[in-house]
Amino acid sequence: MRTALIIGAGKGLGLAIAERLAADGIRVIRSDIAGNVDVTLDVSKSADVETFFASTSGVDILVNSAGIAGPSSAVTETSDAEWHRTIEVNLNGTFYMCRAAARHMAARGWGRIANIASIAGKEGNPMQGTYSASKAGVIGLTKSMGKEMAATGVIINAIAPGLIDTEMVSHMSEANRARSLGKIPMGRMGQSPEVAELVAWLVSDKVTFSTGAVYDISGGRATY
Q: Which of 164, 170, 166 is nearest to 186 (CA)?
A: 164
Cβ of residue 32: shortest distance to ligand NAD, in angstroms?
5
Packing angle of the helix pair 129-148, 93-108 (nearest 10 deg): 20
* Separation between Cα atoms, residue 181 and residue 62, nearest integer Å: 30
Instruction: Indicate the residue among 21 and 68 with the shorter CB distance to ligand NAD.
Output: 68
Residue 134 makes CB contacts below 8 A (sequence gap 6+) with 70, 86, 87, 89, 90, 91, 121
Binding site for ligand NAD (CB under 6 A): 8, 10-14, 32-34, 42-44, 65-68, 89, 93, 116, 118, 161, 163-164, 166-169
In the bound state with ligand NAD, the residue whose beta carbon lies nearer, of 1 and 34, is 34
CB 215 within 8 A of CB 125: no
Which of these is catalytic: 96, 131, 215, 224?
131
Cα separation, 162 vs 49, in Å, equals 28
Cβ atoms of 221 and 120 within 8 Å: the answer is: no
Distance CA 71, CA 86 (A): 8
For residue 28, with 0-12 CB atoms within 10 Å meaning exposed, 13-18 middle and 19 or more buried, which class applies?
buried
Q: How far is the CB of 33 from ligand NAD (least distance, A)?
A: 4
Our CB check for ligand NAD shows the closer of 106 and 168 to be 168
**Least Å distance between CB 221 and ligand NAD?**
11
Catalytic-residue membership of 131? yes
Task: State how far Cα 8 lies from the chain centre.
Answer: 8
In whole angstroms, the minimum distance from the beta carbon of 156 to ligand NAD comes to 16
Amino acid (1-letter code) at residue 110: W
Residue among 12 and 111 whose Cβ is closer to ligand NAD: 12
Q: How far is the CB of 149 from ligand NAD (least distance, A)?
A: 21
**Complex with ligand NAD: residue 80 or 167, whichever CB lies closer:** 167
Active site residues: 131
